[in-house]
Amino acid sequence: MRTYILFILLIGSLPLHAQESAITFRWGISTFGMKEQRRLQSDFKTNNPTLPWKVVHSFPVYYNFGGNLSIKVSQKSSLGVWYEYNSTGGRLHYKDYSGFVYFDQVLRSSQIGAHWQHLLKGSQQWSLMFTNHVSVVFTKEVVDFAIQIGSDNETETLTLTSKHLGIRPGLLLQRKLGSFLFQSALGYEFQTRGQLTSDDDRYLIDNNGDKVTAQWDGLRLTLGVGILLQKP
């Protein structure tokens, strides 16, 4: 957290006469690798073959949202800070007259970091920019297993967390209308592997004995609406 505070102070100390500040709110969709989580889901089916499991979810494309603050530091470049939230999950389920059983893997991530934008081509209203986002990623996974047969039921919940790094190169198309900005961005997220562990140092392993991590790598498509905080 001290690093982010220092970064914000450094941004704020840049000469104001060369800056154009904007705050933007973004919404979009994300794809996710989650290869290890999918393998864990498949292993759970394999390890419990007596039930005709239904795969309800297997870490699908899902919504993201966030925002960023950008400050122009030259005629073609700007720096800033940003935040984004993502979520996805997997569910196995079976139900009949005698009861039900399910196995859930729900993952959420929060990213906070710095970004750089560089103008590739543009006019007074339209701009095409190369962007790069770097971040610290905080992941939380909640694994739930529940079974109910008649009046008997059993549940187990495991909460795991990890912290790792991300980088996202991409392109951003921006339209300026007065004091407002409208943006469309496409990027690809690359992340390191952070080991998911519980508070008491438990972790998930697959049938090969390998530890399971969260793999958020994938495409990010976002739309944004922003406002200029200071006109050029």
- The helix/strand/coil state of 59 is coil
Give me the percent of the chain exceeding a pLDDT of 90. 76
Per-residue pLDDT at 12 exceeds 80: no
The residue whose two tokens read 């925002």 is 67
Q: What is the mean pLDDT of residues 122-139?
A: 93
What residue ranges do the domains of the chain occupy?
A: 2-112+122-162+174-228
- Cα(17)–Cα(21) distance, rounded to whole angstroms? 11
Name the least confident of 9-13, 67-71, 80-84, 163-167: 9-13
pTM to 2 decimals? 0.86
The confidence score (pLDDT) of residue 123 equals 82
- Cα(141)–Cα(157) distance, rounded to whole angstroms? 10
Q: What single-letter DSSP state applies at residue 209?
A: S
Name the least confident of 23-32, 69-78, 184-193: 69-78
Per-residue pLDDT at 11 exceeds 50: no
The confidence score (pLDDT) of residue 20 equals 66
- Cα(173)–Cα(176) distance, rounded to whole angstroms? 10
The confidence score (pLDDT) of residue 14 equals 37
Phi, psi of 198 (to 5 degrees): -90, 175
- Cα(127)–Cα(188) distance, rounded to whole angstroms? 20
